[in-house]
Structure 1
Amino acid sequence: MMRILVINPGATSTKISIFEDKEEILKKNIEHSASDLAPFEHIIDQFQYRKDLISKTLKEEGFKVTDFNAVCGRGGLLRHIPSGTYEVTDKVIQDIYNPPYGEHASNLGTILAKAIAEEAGIKAYFVDPVSVDEMTDVARVTGFSGMERESFFHALNQKSMGRKASLKLGKKYEEVNLIVVHMGGGVSVAAHEKGRVIDVYNVKDEGSFSMDRGGSLPVNALINFCFSGKTKKEVKKALGSKAGVFSYLGTRDFREVEIKAFSGDEKAKLIFDALVYQHCKDIGAMAAVLKFNVDAIVLTAGMAHSKKLCSAIADYVGKLAPIIVLPGEEEMKSLAEGALRVLNGELPKEY
């Protein structure tokens, strides 16, 4: 039996779980208030504060660091790398302290895992960070020289649900072509070709809008907005956290949107329909990427709990391929399983 500590830092909490092989035996969500985090200028400065809380929680639950065979942390905004399980090395830590794509709470996952693992004399790992890149060369071309499409998406959940859907099809993940639609606070729609994500729409840059991000926007209107007297910081905040559904309806809660949309609120119904419409356009594009050889369309993450949303998507794209609905996310389990594969003999990837 292998015992794995999993660490997943978020903006306002640090989730930890303990797995014995694939069974989760402890799950804790350590919350951080705004006042708790206020003294830290940069996210990386929160390292010792969060580490102390993890150590305190483990002690309260009767665990020592020497009880574990490995520690697995959430990967952050690291360099673009292929999918897989990676050992946390000095190169990883160096990039966390000098992040190539900016600060994010998930960046803390690897350094927290490394620090705790070193205390116990064991290995620290991370699995499928958002910077996983398996795109084809042709998919990178944008239409403007010097500007290239990049791969950022919900790789951890996309890969996990891709494997889960493949099992439902009675095949291996490496044998099928899937379109996986992650519909959470952020949205990503990806083409999985026999185990590789060869193209992806990521709401951070393109594709369907989400609850508070704009996705693809008209270029000229975007240029005018950028030169409307706003600073770069103001533009990034508006488009990164105040766009999407929030800009229309003032909420980031999809459940609230759904209730309003089907209770006579015409504006809410329009935005609900537009969200469905744009998701389906992205699915259609990814079907073309796969030359319409699609084994299944997988709907996952929080919004996939909505039967109305999934049904509306099926009305558009149900003829393309069978639709498999796998609501929610399994980030902690996916991290544990990635580490377990290495503990059971699979070689870790080299960062």
Structure 2
Amino acid sequence: MMNYRTLVINPGSTSTKIAIFEDTHLLAQQEINYLPADLAHFVDLMDQKDFRIKSIVDFMNKHDFDFQSIDAFVGRGGLMRAIPGGTYTIDTQMISDLTKGLFGIHAANLGAIIADYFGEMYQRPAFVVDPVVVDEFDPVAYLSGYKDWDRRSVFHALNQKAVARQALKQIGKSYENANLIVAHMGGGISVGAHKLGRVVDVNNGLDGDGTYSPNRTGSVSAISLVDYIYDQAPKKSEVVKLITHEGGLKSYLGTDDLKTIEKEIDQGDEYSRLIFDGMVYQIAKEIGKQATVLMGQVDLIVLTGGMARSGRLVKALTQRVDWIAPVTVIPGQMEMQALNLGAQRVLQQIEQPKNYVKEAEELANGRSI
């Protein structure tokens, strides 16, 4: 079996993560962090493309890698049309959707755009894997309570699916033949019900659904939000910022740094303890909700994301949910490895790459029935 080399590109709002893999072996990696001043003069996200490309070229030169040695370029999938999970060949329609921001603006949009740039330049395939818009919902999961406001599947799909596969491998089960619940706990929190290889339901932590997190509100009273908008008359962008960046722990405690909050708890701050316990309580409720989606047939619960490094949080959460199923902890995230593995499965002909337009249209047509 051939060993294929991939260049993995994962843009964040203030950083670009880069890694080179050969088969499953990591050869080099770097997280390039940008100062606010580095990005301040760019009018919009797409203007950052050349700047970030230069960062990647510098990385390749620093580590003495030739672009010609790369077999495939893999970018983090951004906000695009809803599609099922899998590895997708980057095409012109995907690039157009991401460039125009038709389905939202996020730094991850640049992942596919930059991977496509290098793929075109060096005549190599370019892929995205399990973007945040992965949609594998059961029909009933779309219903929200108002006919024009369908629930959206937007979550940490890449890491959720990767840790699910890893955790199940440890107990001798395959992802396609097991049921599990994965709680990704970072700046945002998503808790997904994985049923026989599909994420059939998950809260949309980006839009304000589910538990509060370090800096997101989660679900709040709709009437309270309406009152706030009418009383304060804020701009739309201000409301979005409140929901996605100013809520949760930050709203209650003035900081979204979990380590700082845990120190305050250790020093006897009972209010900090209450707010911390409230977040644990809400995460546990989300896990319980997804257990009902799986009708109690749960092989495993996986806790992942940056907050899974907190022993206090993991212990408190496990005490609330381990009656549902055994709990496995995979802290941090496997995004770079997952992007590589998705590309490797295609390069090694284990899977066929999916077509973005075809899969998006089939999903949309299926929902309209």
TM-score bucket of the superposed structures, by smaller chain: over 0.9
2:108 partner SS: helix
Within 1, Cα distance between the matches of 2:6 and 2:296? Answer: 40
**Per-residue deviation, 1:15:** 1.0
The answer to whether the aligner puts 1:182 opposite 2:187 as a matched pair is no
2:46 partner SS: helix
Summarize deviations over 1:206-260 as a string: whole Å, max 9, x none: 1000000000001111111121221211111111101110001111111111221
The answer to whether the aligner puts 1:291 opposite 2:295 as a matched pair is yes
* Mapping of residues 81-92 of structure 1, within 5 Å: 81-92=83-94
**Per-residue deviation, 1:60:** 2.3
Within 2, Cα distance between the matches of 1:189 and 1:226? Answer: 29
* Mapping of residues 102-251 of structure 1, within 5 Å: 102-204=104-206, 205-228=208-231, 229-251=233-255
Q: Which residue of 2 aligns with 1:303?
A: 307
Within 1, Cα distance between the matches of 2:258 and 2:224? Answer: 27
Q: Which residue of 2 aligns with 1:347?
A: 352
The alignment covers a number of residue pairs equal to 351
Q: Which residue of 2 aligns with 1:329?
A: 333
Summarize deviations over 1:23-50 as a string: whole Å, max 9, x none: 1110112222111111211101111111
Q: Which residue of 1 aligns with 2:367?
A: none
Q: Which residue of 1 aligns with 2:321?
A: 317
1:276 partner SS: helix
1:105 partner SS: coil
Is the CA contact (8 Å cut-off) linking 1:209 and 1:244 kept in structure 2?
A: yes
2:214 partner SS: coil
> Which stretches of structure 1, 4 residues or longer, exceed 6 Å deviation after superposition?
none
Amino acid at match of 1:294: V
Q: Which residue of 2 aligns with 1:271?
A: 275
Amino acid at match of 1:350: N
Within 1, Cα distance between the matches of 2:306 and 2:77? Answer: 21
1:151 partner SS: coil
Q: Which residue of 2 aligns with 1:32?
A: 34
Amino acid at match of 1:247: S
1:20 maps to which of 14, 17, 22: 22
**Per-residue deviation, 1:263:** 2.3
Summarize deviations over 1:270-304 as a string: whole Å, max 9, x none: 01100110001111100000001100111001111
2:181 partner SS: strand
Within 2, Cα distance between the matches of 1:178 and 1:259? Answer: 33
Amino acid at match of 2:174: K
Within 1, Cα distance between the matches of 2:335 and 2:300? Answer: 22
Within 1, Cα distance between the matches of 2:276 and 2:12? Answer: 28
1:214 partner SS: coil
Is the CA contact (8 Å cut-off) linking 1:75 and 1:126 kept in structure 2?
A: yes
Amino acid at match of 1:97: T
Amino acid at match of 2:276: F
What TM-score comes out, normalization by structure 1 length? 0.98
Q: Which residue of 2 aligns with 1:60?
A: 62
How much identity, in percent, do the aligned residues show?
A: 45
Q: Which residue of 1 aligns with 2:361?
A: none
Within 2, Cα distance between the matches of 1:71 and 1:255? Answer: 36
Is the CA contact (8 Å cut-off) linking 2:159 and 2:338 kept in structure 1?
A: yes
1:79 partner SS: coil
Q: Which runs of 5+ in 1 are unaligned?
A: none
Within 1, Cα distance between the matches of 2:95 and 2:124? Answer: 16
